[in-house]
Structure 1
Amino acid sequence: MTGLSYGDAVAEVLKSEPMFETTTVEVDGVSFLAFKNIPQDLRALLQTSRAAQENGQAEYLVFEGQRLSYDAFCNDINKMAHVLQSRFEVLPRTRVAVAMSNRPEMLILMMAISSIGATCVFLNAWWTTEELRYALQDTDSKLIFTDTQRLERLKPLQEQLGLTLIGVDETQTDPSYVSLMRSETRSAWPTVDIDPDSDFAIMYSSGTTSDPKGVALTHRGAVNAVFTWLVQATIAPLINPPDDPNAEKPRPVTLITTPLFHVTATHPGFLLSLPAGAKVVLMYKWDAQTAVDLIETEGVTRFVGVPTQSADIQIAAKNSGKPLETLTQVVAGGAKRPPAQVSELAQAFPQAEIATGWGMTETNAIGIGLSGEDYVARPGAAGRLFPPLQEMMFLDEDGSPVALGSVGEMTVKSVCNMRTYLNKPIETSTAMQDGWFKTGDLGFIDDDGIITIVDRKKNIIIRGGENIACLDVEDALHQHPAILEACAFAIPHARLGEVVGAAVQTRPGMTLNHAELSNFLRDRIARFKTPEHLWVQTTPLPRGATDKIDRRALRKTCMANLSKKT
């Protein structure tokens, strides 16, 4: 059976599936396209997803020794919702914070808070006491649920900020999460009205400035993002029809490996699993061999992680002799996957669709993507704009659209976009106008609607008037067989203004020096793009909270070492 083209498949799904019918909504005076027949808030999403989860009987959440059915998961959410209302008098729009590493309680709290119209504040689990102070004051959060490690960082703030700290482990605090849940017997759904345009969450961007920005995300934005991904899943078999259309499909099983205070985990990982009828396997922290074992024992079909995690499981699977035959999708998000890695993954997991996705905290993680043969053929591309709700323009420095194929700042309009940067009106008005959000990413679109991201706008090295994209340099570096990961950045230069610097991690047992690398790159990138300063290490490059390489911290360390040499 011959598959449809991408455009024809989208048209067929939008025409034939009532779930994806669209309408126009007005939010803060701006008109947006939105899905007409979907749940309007996260509580309704939980309720309507029960049918997809074997009417609540399916095993839904797996975490270490814990296994919860969908009904049991929802019952725990509802019990905590009643605790929040009766014990702590949490009202709609009240902000309640969570500070912990990945564990089921974090998902239960996220949904319990949003199910009563309150707002879940996600605190970065890596933050110091002072960074936690900033976010708590920024959001005016007084009630915080926390694990042991974060509790110790929060205690110095308890009296100063008037905090109520609730430990998720039984002996941490009095009361504790465990004792509160044990004392609550009600498991009926809350009945409080929820405004679809109210904030379900405040999530902090990974940050390139001194203070992170609190991104206010609404129920409407999150749910419309979820159903946008469902459109992509529905069109996939129309483009690539299965060999046997009558064969029973395995139940989707998603492995969540990235932190739950980041949209990659909460949105295309957790929230999408609800209406998709998927089981969720949750990891406390990243470990490649543990991930491989879980993929095999739990029958994981979908892996979503940052590119280095894809590379990690490829190596771990090979070393342990496990082919991971249940995998049908290996998705990269949070950062661009090195093009050379795409074909390697396709060869390592021939039964799986290798995919990439681009989205931001500010867009509820929705955006663009590419998968399968299209991605293997264009490994440097980011993908197509996910239909049908989004619009995208590419703008020059003056805010005018650029010509087709020319590089401009990616600017997207969607009902999924954030409501605001919390308490930052200037930053909000700079980034958003009339529903359009300036992403800060530079890219271009071709005749086929394929978007290629050149770089972050702020990650341009200007060498003697020549603009150099850090990602362009990194793509070339990743082609060297000794390099496992790489990061490029600007180094000040008295004559040229800036030159290229790079730090790389070598593969086990392999070495690299500057002269060898320069010779290797001679025919791969222009000479002016070749790193003039190189730092080589055998350990992983430093990472931020979302497991992206921390370019700023790495550059600072390398610059300090350069200063010592001079």
Structure 2
Amino acid sequence: MSFFDSVEAFVAAATAPEADLAVGSKVIDGVEYTVFAKAPDSLRDMFAMMLMHGDAPFLVENETRLSFAETYQAAARYAHALVGLGVKKGDRVAISMRNRPEWVIGFIGTLMAGAVATPLNSWWGTEEVSYALKDSGASIILVDPRRAKYILPLLDKQDLTLILSGQSESSNPRVLDYDALMAASTQTTPPAIAIGPEDDATLMYTSGSTGHPKGAISTNRAVITGILGYALMGLAMQNSRGEAPGSGPQPVILQTIPLFHVTGCVVIFLVSIIAARKMVLMRKWDVNEAMRLIEKERVSSLTGVPTMSADLLNAPNRGDYDLSSLTDIGAGGAARPPDHVKPLNDMLDGARPLAGYGLTETNAVGAFNAGDDYLKRPNSIGKVARPIVEIEIRDPSGNVMPTGERGEICLKSAANIRCYWNQPEATAEAFTDGWLHTGDVGVFDEEGFLYIVDRIKDIIIRGGENIATLEVEAAICAHPDVLEATVFGVPHDRLGEVVAAVVYPRPDSGLDAQTLTQDLADHLAVYKIPSLIEFMNEALPRIASGKIAKKALRERMIGEEK
């Protein structure tokens, strides 16, 4: 029996009417979806599972260790602290910090208070954070000291309250001490606030083809659907290995992806609550530190962008560590090179590679590939995560394409976001009768395996981070010595893609790559700054429509780099 034969048989039984993960149909905003019939009404209700897990370890960061119960009680205290600060149901409360226990506590506590958890990219600078805070309307933000320096200049301008976890020299009364707030809050159960499935829960920012990131707003039902969808896949995979689902020692996952990413938040963090899984936090990726933690904490699952598993595969000192606890090596956020799949499968006895496809807009669910089917088809993203996901390949007119014909991947699921925050036109463009137009071009084969073959959206995916080319182009063109510029991605062995730019500078300006890069650092997060910059002494070439010949310039640069 192949991997997916096993998975499909298990899923059919696990989602039957009498099962805990039973599915049914539900009409939401006029569209019929497949939903988990017995799902909790809210994430706040789902978090009560943490009390069932009790003293089992949940969060590990350096010497900090918190059980499920301790984390739940800390989150309840944070929820009451927010309510004491005037937070009401539906208010957005932001978080900007590296992977730390306070991030997790703040996220859970925000939802317990009935507010909308709004994670911000911790690599953003002042301009990017300012935009997201204005767009979201968040007036409270939880930060660590490093992020605080970017936000302190905004406090009075944008009427913000900053909750700081760590030391600060600021005397601004708008800066509140996290530890003091927590010490003053003694409630260990959540506030009594009515929260339903269709109430908003999270606002996550995603870089698309437009300049500014878009806020993707999800309901409680959407996020829970994504969580349970991944939990179902995890149980099916365990069953495919001949193990009784839920049996064996406590699973342990290494949290290598930033928690502000949908993969880090939903697939790793929130699924860990359902799975009673210990989560070992890494603030920054380092392959040697990762191997040390895998050995020390007996990590069973490593999920990260493909760069991370490639680093593990190529680590010259891998044999110095005991990595035998690993069973799953997952990839998300970007495509894993097909030629990495078999070496990863052969790297360790008992550890198998897997890959998933999903978007911020789908709460990370979509399709997945693993087992012998992944080895046979390493360039496929696998099969649709049924029964909660439907995928169709459509042409520009919306017609469904036959098997073997390429078109845009369109995805329908109760896990899809409700809308783009404050952007009705972008929402209308992206969604048609509940179907999300992903911007990815794909094709199904005769056996139902999905392949991504191109991208419609003008974005770059660098190490799992989406970068809008228009945003980078706008920053470059705002430079006083630049007349015009174009930006695109070029292949990179380790990161998948890196940012490249072709620039036409003002004659006799003397502008060079080093100066431009330094100036861009004041306006763009470091990962968005071009790694490759080419200057031209004349206007950039154009195609017949008058647009810059981006494709030709990209192909020329790739040829020069080889």
Q: TM-score higher than 0.5 here?
A: yes
Opposite residue 159 of structure 1, the aligned amino acid is D
Aligned to 1:195: 196
Q: Aligned pair 1:283/2:314, yes or no? A: no
CA–CA separation in structure 1 for the residues paired with 2:311 and 2:2: 35
> Mind listing any 5+ residue stretches in structure 1 that lack a counterpart?
461-469, 475-486, 490-497, 508-546
Conservation of the 8 A alpha-carbon contact between 2:382 and 2:449: yes
Report SS of the residue matched to 1:12: helix
Q: Aligned pair 1:97/2:94, yes or no? A: yes
Deviation per CA, 1:477-517, whole angstroms, max 9, x where unpaired?
xxxxxxxxxx9x9xxxxxxxx9x99454589xxxxxxxxxx
> Mind listing any 5+ residue stretches in structure 2 that lack a counterpart?
470-485, 496-524, 541-556
Conservation of the 8 A alpha-carbon contact between 1:148 and 1:172: no
How far off its partner does 1:38 sit? 1.8
Deviation per CA, 1:208-261, whole angstroms, max 9, x where unpaired?
32111111111111111111112212222443425xx69962211011111111
Deviation per CA, 1:423-454, whole angstroms, max 9, x where unpaired?
11111100001111011111111222111111
Decide which of 112, 117, 120 is 1:120's aligned counterpart.
117
Deviation per CA, 1:450-492, whole angstroms, max 9, x where unpaired?
11111222369xxxxxxxxx99xx9xxxxxxxxxxxx9x9xxx
TM-score (norm 2): 0.81
Aligned to 1:478: none
Conservation of the 8 A alpha-carbon contact between 1:83 and 1:181: yes
CA–CA separation in structure 2 for the residues paired with 1:307 and 1:292: 16
Q: Aligned pair 1:341/2:361, yes or no? A: no
Aligned to 1:163: 160
Aligned to 1:532: none
Q: Aligned pair 1:297/2:325, yes or no? A: no
TM-score (norm 1): 0.80
How far off its partner does 1:19 sit? 1.3
CA–CA separation in structure 1 for the residues paired with 2:51 and 2:338: 39
Conservation of the 8 A alpha-carbon contact between 1:170 and 1:179: no
Superposition pairs of residues 396-545 of structure 1, within 5 angstroms: 396-458=395-457, 502-504=490-492
Percent identity, aligned pairs only, is 34
Opposite residue 338 of structure 2, the aligned amino acid is P
Q: Aligned pair 1:239/2:240, yes or no? A: yes
Deviation per CA, 1:498-548, whole angstroms, max 9, x where unpaired?
9x99454589xxxxxxxxxxxxxxxxxxxxxxxxxxxxxxxxxxxxxxx99
Q: Aligned pair 1:137/2:120, yes or no? A: no
Aligned to 2:32: 31
Distance 1:548 1:300, change over 3 A: farther
Which stretch of structure 1 is more off in the superposition, 174-183 or 421-430?
174-183
Superposition pairs of residues 238-257 of structure 1, within 5 angstroms: 238-242=239-243, 249-257=248-256
Distance 1:112 1:246, change over 3 A: closer
Conservation of the 8 A alpha-carbon contact between 1:123 and 1:132: yes
Aligned to 2:517: none
CA–CA separation in structure 1 for the residues paired with 2:394 and 2:12: 28
Which stretch of structure 1 is more off in the superposition, 301-310 or 7-16?
7-16
Aligned to 2:522: none
CA–CA separation in structure 2 for the residues paired with 1:73 and 1:445: 43
Conservation of the 8 A alpha-carbon contact between 2:266 and 2:364: yes
Distance 1:12 1:78, change over 3 A: same
Opposite residue 439 of structure 1, the aligned amino acid is T
Distance 1:159 1:351, change over 3 A: same
Opposite residue 358 of structure 1, the aligned amino acid is Y
Conservation of the 8 A alpha-carbon contact between 2:312 and 2:318: no
How far off its partner does 1:13 sit? 2.5
Q: Aligned pair 1:75/2:52, yes or no? A: no
CA–CA separation in structure 1 for the residues paired with 2:452 and 2:537: 31
How far off its partner does 1:190 sit? 2.2
Which stretch of structure 1 is more off in the superposition, 320-329 or 118-127?
320-329
Opposite residue 221 of structure 1, the aligned amino acid is A
How far off its partner does 1:324 sit? 0.6
CA–CA separation in structure 1 for the residues paired with 2:199 and 2:207: 23
Which stretch of structure 1 is more off in the superposition, 357-366 or 8-17?
8-17
How far off its partner does 1:126 sit? 1.2
Conservation of the 8 A alpha-carbon contact between 2:145 and 2:168: no
Aligned to 1:185: 186
CA–CA separation in structure 2 for the residues paired with 1:418 and 1:274: 21
CA–CA separation in structure 2 for the residues paired with 1:127 and 1:269: 22
Distance 1:323 1:549, change over 3 A: farther
Distance 1:320 1:301, change over 3 A: same
Report SS of the residue matched to 1:214: strand
CA–CA separation in structure 2 for the residues paired with 1:347 and 1:234: 23
CA–CA separation in structure 1 for the residues paired with 2:410 and 2:397: 13
How far off its partner does 1:270 sit? 0.5
How far off its partner does 1:125 sit? 1.0
Deviation per CA, 1:380-403, whole angstroms, max 9, x where unpaired?
010111121111110112211111
Deviation per CA, 1:65-122, whole angstroms, max 9, x where unpaired?
1000111110100010111112x11110011111111111111111101112101111
Distance 1:238 1:131, change over 3 A: closer
CA–CA separation in structure 1 for the residues paired with 2:526 and 2:153: 29
Distance 1:349 1:562, change over 3 A: farther
CA–CA separation in structure 1 for the residues paired with 2:117 and 2:420: 15
Opposite residue 163 of structure 1, the aligned amino acid is L
Opposite residue 83 of structure 1, the aligned amino acid is A
Conservation of the 8 A alpha-carbon contact between 2:51 and 2:72: no
Report SS of the residue matched to 1:417: coil
Opposite residue 37 of structure 1, the aligned amino acid is K
Deviation per CA, 1:5-57, whole angstroms, max 9, x where unpaired?
44333223223862111122222222211101121211111103433x2xx11
Q: Aligned pair 1:389/2:388, yes or no? A: yes
Which stretch of structure 1 is more off in the superposition, 1-10 or 344-353?
1-10
Distance 1:137 1:548, change over 3 A: closer
Aligned to 1:62: 60
CA RMSD, Structure 1 to Structure 2 (Å) = 3.1
Which stretch of structure 1 is more off in the superposition, 174-183 or 378-387?
174-183
Aligned to 2:543: none
Conservation of the 8 A alpha-carbon contact between 2:393 and 2:407: yes
CA–CA separation in structure 1 for the residues paired with 2:80 and 2:258: 27
Alignment length, in residue pairs? Answer: 486
Conservation of the 8 A alpha-carbon contact between 1:335 and 1:548: no
Opposite residue 153 of structure 1, the aligned amino acid is Y
Report SS of the residue matched to 1:379: coil
CA–CA separation in structure 2 for the residues paired with 1:212 and 1:39: 31
CA–CA separation in structure 1 for the residues paired with 2:242 and 2:494: 41
Aligned to 1:151: 148
Aligned to 1:47: 48
Aligned to 1:539: none
CA–CA separation in structure 2 for the residues paired with 1:562 and 1:220: 55
CA–CA separation in structure 2 for the residues paired with 1:439 and 1:269: 22
Report SS of the residue matched to 1:160: coil
How far off its partner does 1:319 sit? 4.2
Opposite residue 61 of structure 1, the aligned amino acid is L
Distance 1:7 1:548, change over 3 A: farther
How far off its partner does 1:171 sit? 4.1
Opposite residue 147 of structure 1, the aligned amino acid is D
